[in-house]
Amino acid sequence: MVQTIDPWGNQEVKVDNAFLKQFGLQKFSETNQKQFKNHFFERNLMICHRDFDKFYAALQQKKRAVQLTGIASSGPLHLGHKVDLDFFLFIRSLGAESHLGICDIDAYVSRPDKKLDSMKKAKEIAVNNTAHALALGINKKEIYVQSQKPPRYYEFAFELSKKMTENTFRAIYGHLDLGKLSANFLQYADILHYQLKEFGGECPTLTGIGIEQDPHARASRDLVRRISYKMFLPSFAYFQHQGGLKEGTKMSASEPHTAIFLDDSLESAKQKIQRAFSGGRESLEKHRKLGGIPEIDKSYEILRFHHPDSKLVEHVYTEYKTGKMLTSELKKITIDFLTDFLSKHQAKVKKNLDTAEKIVYKK
């Protein structure tokens, strides 16, 4: 049976060679894996890509190469979103022209009313999300809000709607929800519009996404083959998603107890780590003897995804795995790291709220 992917669902996607083959995805080359001094590559967080090489070749030749990432402003940001933005900052550091879309229209239109019941609310959330993005180091000129684009952007989204049939949509997504459908055309426009002459013209682009977002990637590539504008097929890089704090879950804003939010108080963050699923053994004795299981430990996962120091993370892994480090010690390291990060980050967020308001409301 063919595996389908639901970009709005909450299931983990299994990625194996059969999966890669089925969807035409490529693994990163060994060269890539070695050349990038970045935790995404050092810690095996990258899964696969589509046409990353074309994008990277343009960067190496100092040609224009655009990266575009979007955040749907449907709720507060959690550590999982930080992964997206960290990847954004990494690609920017390679020299890419970088744009971060705060997707307020998409958020409102694609979420049920009980989750997000007005554009007004989506914009308030957009202010919050934008302030966090600024605090993480995205420049204000790199951020746009979907509801504040020039008319050409919307025109293009409507143009794209002419080029996709109901059958294509059903084949890719397995359903036809009119709100999600129209939000999708905005997503495709986000990914593709920087190749329009009004936004800089044809060039390779990259979008970093989780593997469950691949249907959008395939749809936007399919559209490039149908429209009359000459464009590069957009490239995509797929990274692992950070799991939730409970065993086997995805970090999701819909289930607050499974996620650490960038707005969480230090006390709340601390408590969440203390309660998080651990890879420790049932007794001290057994732990010392058998060692912990960092692969399933949620505190360790936070370090793996977020701690800047790869050597420290490796050290923790070994110590925990061999039973030298106890779960309480691992949790303490994670709590210290995380509360330090959150405290500094939240101070920056405060300073950036005014700028964020100006971006969202075009004051």
Residue 56: name the closest of 36, 85, 84, 70 by CA: 36
Read off the amino acid at residue 175: H
- Tell me whether residue 136 or residue 189 sits nearer to its own copies (CB atom): 189
Q: Residue from 11, 228, 248, 282 that binds its own copies (CB under 8 A)?
A: 228
- Tell me whether residue 90 or residue 108 sits nearer to its own copies (CB atom): 108
Per-residue tokens: 82: 């930080």
Q: Residue from 165, 254, 328, 343 that binds its own copies (CB under 8 A)?
A: 165
Contact between 117 and its own copies (CB under 8 A)?
yes
Contact between 182 and its own copies (CB under 8 A)?
yes
- Tell me whether residue 159 or residue 263 sits nearer to its own copies (CB atom): 159
- Least Å from the CB of residue 203 to its own copies: 21
CA distance 53 to 296: 32
> How would you class 72 by CB atoms within 10 Å of its CB: exposed for 0-12, middle for 13-18, buried for 19 or more?
buried
Q: Residue from 42, 53, 124, 155 that binds its own copies (CB under 8 A)?
A: 155
CB within 8 A of 361, min separation 6: which ones?
123, 127
Contact between 286 and its own copies (CB under 8 A)?
no
- Least Å from the CB of residue 140 to its own copies: 18
Kindly write out the interface string for residues 50-89 of this chain, putting x where it contacts its own copies by CB under 8 A and - elsewhere. ----------------------------------------
Which listed range, 13-21, 81-89, 170-178, 277-285, lies at the site for its own copies (CB under 8 A)? 170-178
Residue 209: name the closest of 3, 23, 17 by CA: 23
Read off the amino acid at residue 317: Y
Element counts in the chain: helices (H) and strands (E):
16, 6
Contact between 169 and its own copies (CB under 8 A)?
yes
Map residue 152 onto helix, strand or coil: helix
- Tell me whether residue 26 or residue 158 sits nearer to its own copies (CB atom): 158
Read off the amino acid at residue 1: M
- Least Å from the CB of residue 230 to its own copies: 13
Residue 72: name the closest of 81, 63, 64 by CA: 81
CA distance 55 to 235: 7
* Residues forming the site for its own copies (CB under 8 A): 105, 108-109, 113, 117-119, 147-152, 154-155, 157-159, 161-166, 169, 176-179, 181-183, 185-186, 228
